[in-house]
């Protein structure tokens, strides 16, 4: 029997998202999620052509959830003997990883060594790797890093204007995130527009719950809006993006909030939710703005203005623009956000095709501008598929 399936795992602190990709025919026959891990209401949901099933796993940790997952997949005919390898999403690769790698004990140690840079994410990602190693020790595993694509960003773009020893001693610099998504949609834009692989300038805007834009020149990331953490840059669902760093001290002195509380406010109570006072969900805000909700309208306008400003600033890195790409839940679905953002960028020669903008989305990728040079596109992201591709390539190379 030929093993052609690739398990893709995205292991969070209390969740385990998974997909099975079939490398033989490039399909994704099964996917799902174990959630609320460690809680009494932990559960496992599996989706396939046969439908969706859900099972309670009270108190399950990552290991128990993974065992239940393997059993559920086996029942559907996707048992581990069909698996070629597993690919893991790992959030932070710091300066240690500029590409995806085969997981070894040394790699696990190196990911652990940089966990202080992403204390909420890397330990959870490692939990998934270790649980799978215990369960299926012979299955090849690959780590795919959110930061890796951005390791080509030059020092002028990644260096904070802080005392330099903070970079040397503590690794304080800009790293960037959503690298797998920016890599995929920029390469798709190059393919769709038939741009020269070694001569193109693309700006990608990944707009989901987290949002970042990226400057891609000749296949390489040269700058991005997120920084040392995913808090920097654009306005997001509940994250502030860029604010004056003095706000920390001001808030502390005026309200008595401590550092952890202020950090929580910037991460979980700000962004679209903070401005609107209504929701972090762009769908809700677009509907409310239609109904005359003034702060929903303001939240959307701040979001789009800051996005356009972020995109403009990235043009310094590319030195021009062949294509602007929208992706992520908002980028793929919110035609109104694309319209407002492109309107702010009219001075660049971008002109939206209103009908194409309305007709493109998650299920229809392509050009939404009347202009081809530069072009504006919607390209649904496929991060899990990219993880599967990297995994397959690394495992094949090792054979
Ligand atoms: P994540 O970053 O967690 O992967 P997604 O990329 O799925 O999230 O994006 C989630 C966001 O996409 C939601 O918060 C919502 O604001 C937005 N979104 C999803 N569907 C629509 C839609 N039809 N119209 C507008 N916004 C949408």
Condensed to tens digits (0 to 9), the pLDDT of residues 7-39 reads 999 999 999 999 999 988 889 999 999 999 999
Could you confirm whether 242 is annotated as catalytic?
A: no
Burial (Cβ within 10 Å: 0-12, 13-18, ≥19) of residue 78: buried
At 222 the three-state DSSP class reads strand
Question: At residue 399, does pLDDT exceed 60?
Answer: no
Q: Which residue owns the Cα nearest ligand 1 atom 12?
A: 329
Quick one: pLDDT band at residue 1, thresholds 50, 70, 90? low
What is the arrangement of strands in the sheet containing 323-327, beginning at the earlier edge strand?
Answer: 220-224, 211-217, 201-207, 323-327, 375-378, 366-367
- Ligand 1 centre to CA of 397 (Å) is 36
Q: 195-383 belongs to which CATH class?
A: alpha beta
Tell me which residue has tokens 């908002």.
330
- Ligand 1 centre to CA of 329 (Å) is 3
Equal CATH topology for 5-145 and 195-383? yes
| pLDDT, average across residues 253-266 | 97
The whole-angstrom separation of Cα 62 and Cα 69 is 10
- E strand or H helix at 248: helix 247-255
Q: What is the DSSP string of 225-243?
A: S--SSTTSSS--SS---S-
Q: Which residue owns the Cα nearest ligand 1 atom 7?
A: 329
Domain limits of the chain? 5-145, 195-383
The reply to whether ligand 1 has any atom less than 6 angstroms from the CB of 334 is yes
Report pTM: 0.96
Quick one: pLDDT band at residue 362, thresholds 50, 70, 90? confident
The reply to whether ligand 1 has any atom less than 6 angstroms from the CB of 65 is no
In this prediction, what percent of the chain has a pLDDT beyond 70? 99
The reply to whether ligand 1 has any atom less than 6 angstroms from the CB of 237 is yes
Q: Which residue owns the Cα nearest ligand 1 atom 27?
A: 330
What is the arrangement of strands in the sheet containing 51-56, beginning at the earlier edge strand?
Answer: 51-56, 43-48, 27-35, 16-22, 5-11, 83-90, 141-145, 101-102
Q: 5-145 belongs to which CATH class?
A: alpha beta
The reported pLDDT for the residue numbered 298 is: 98
- The pLDDT tens digits of the residues spanning 61-117 come to 999 999 999 999 999 999 999 999 999 999 999 999 999 999 999 999 999 999 999
The reply to whether ligand 1 has any atom less than 6 angstroms from the CB of 205 is no
- The pLDDT tens digits of the residues spanning 145-200 come to 999 999 999 999 999 999 999 999 999 999 999 999 999 999 999 999 999 999 99
């Amino acid at each position: 029997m030929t093993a052609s399936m690739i398990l893709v795992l995205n292991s969070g602190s209390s969740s385990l998202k998974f997909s099975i990709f079939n490398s033989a025919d490039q399909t994704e026959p099964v996917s799902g999620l174990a959630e609320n891990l460690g809680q009494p209401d932990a559960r496992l949901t599996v989706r396939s052509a046969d439908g969706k099933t859900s099972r309670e796993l009270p108190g399950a940790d990552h290991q128990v959830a993974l065992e239940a997952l393997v059993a559920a997949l086996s029942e559907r005919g996707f048992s581990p003997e069909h698996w070629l390898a597993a690919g893991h999403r790992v959030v932070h690769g710091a300066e240690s990883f500029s590409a995806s790698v085969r997981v070894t004990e040394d790699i696990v140690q190196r990911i652990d060594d940089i966990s202080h840079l992403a204390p909420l994410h890397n330990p959870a990602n490692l939990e998934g790797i270790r649980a799978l190693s215990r369960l299926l020790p012979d299955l090849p595993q690959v780590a795919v890093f959110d930061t890796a694509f951005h390791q080509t960003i030059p020092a002028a773009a990644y260096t904070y204007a802080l005392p330099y020893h903070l970079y040397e001693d503590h690794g304080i610099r800009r790293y960037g995130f959503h690298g797998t998504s920016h890599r995929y949609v920029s390469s798709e834009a190059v393919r769709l527009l038939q741009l020269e692989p070694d001569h193109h300038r693309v700006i990608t805007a990944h707009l989901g719950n987290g949002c970042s834009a990226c400057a891609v020149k000749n296949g390489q990331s040269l700058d991005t809006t997120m920084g040392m953490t995913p808090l920097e840059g654009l306005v997001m669902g509940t994250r502030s993006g860029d604010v004056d760093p003095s706000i920390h001290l001001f808030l502390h002195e005026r309200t008595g909030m401590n550092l952890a509380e202020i950090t929580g406010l910037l991460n979980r109570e700000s962004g679209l939710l903070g401005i609107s006072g209504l929701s972090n969900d762009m769908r809700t805000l677009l509907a409310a703005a239609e109904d005359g909700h003034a702060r929903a309208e303001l939240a959307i306008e701040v979001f789009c203005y800051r996005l356009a400003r972020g995109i403009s600033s990235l043009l310094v890195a590319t030195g021009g623009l062949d294509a602007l790409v929208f992706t992520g839940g908002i980028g793929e679905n919110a035609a109104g956000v694309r319209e407002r953002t492109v309107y702010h960028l009219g001075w660049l020669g971008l002109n939206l095709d209103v009908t194409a903008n309305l007709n493109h989305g998650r299920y229809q990728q392509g050009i939404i501008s009347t202009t081809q040079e530069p072009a504006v596109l919607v390209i649904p992201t496929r991060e899990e598929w990219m993880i599967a591709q990297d995994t397959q390539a690394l495992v094949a190379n090792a054979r």
